[in-house]
Amino acid sequence: MVVEDDTELRWLTKVILEECQFDIIECESAEAALATMLLRGKDVAMIFADVRLSGEMDGIGLAREVKMRWPHLVVVLTSGSAVDHLGQLPPGVEYMPKPWKALDVLTAAERARSAPGGR
């Protein structure tokens, strides 16, 4: 699942992952991502989300909720200015600084797919 409120960056991430045969669910807010997880959580192996999102909940709040409900799920947060937020990351949540490299995103997705419970 790609959670990004920047439409162009969400599209780019989706295209990169689809090129390597990953099925992608797109969400533009943490609230939409949580609602989607409640309906289709069994289909999700990884959440790749921006720290800063539109809506009430940011990516860190999303990561906390997801890790409480689906502790096995790989969660990767990204931001161009997350230095202030790094100490707030929930246990087990990875951080990837922007600008990220496509290979780093693909590596994280492949790790999630091959993990126990991956899709």
Residue 105: which of 16, 38, 18, 11 has the closest Cα? 16
The letter for the amino acid at 52 is R
Q: Please state the separation of Cα 23 from the chain's center in Å.
A: 14
Model confidence over 60-117: pLDDT tens digits?
999 999 999 999 999 999 998 756 667 888 999 999 999 999 999 999 999 999 987 7
Instruction: Write down all domains in the chain, each with its CATH number in brackets.
Output: 2-113 (3.40.50.2300)
Residue 117: which of 71, 77, 76 has the closest Cα? 71
Q: In what order do the strands lie in the sheet with 93-97?
A: 26-27, 2-3, 46-50, 74-79, 93-97
pLDDT bracket for residue 29 (50, 70, 90): very high
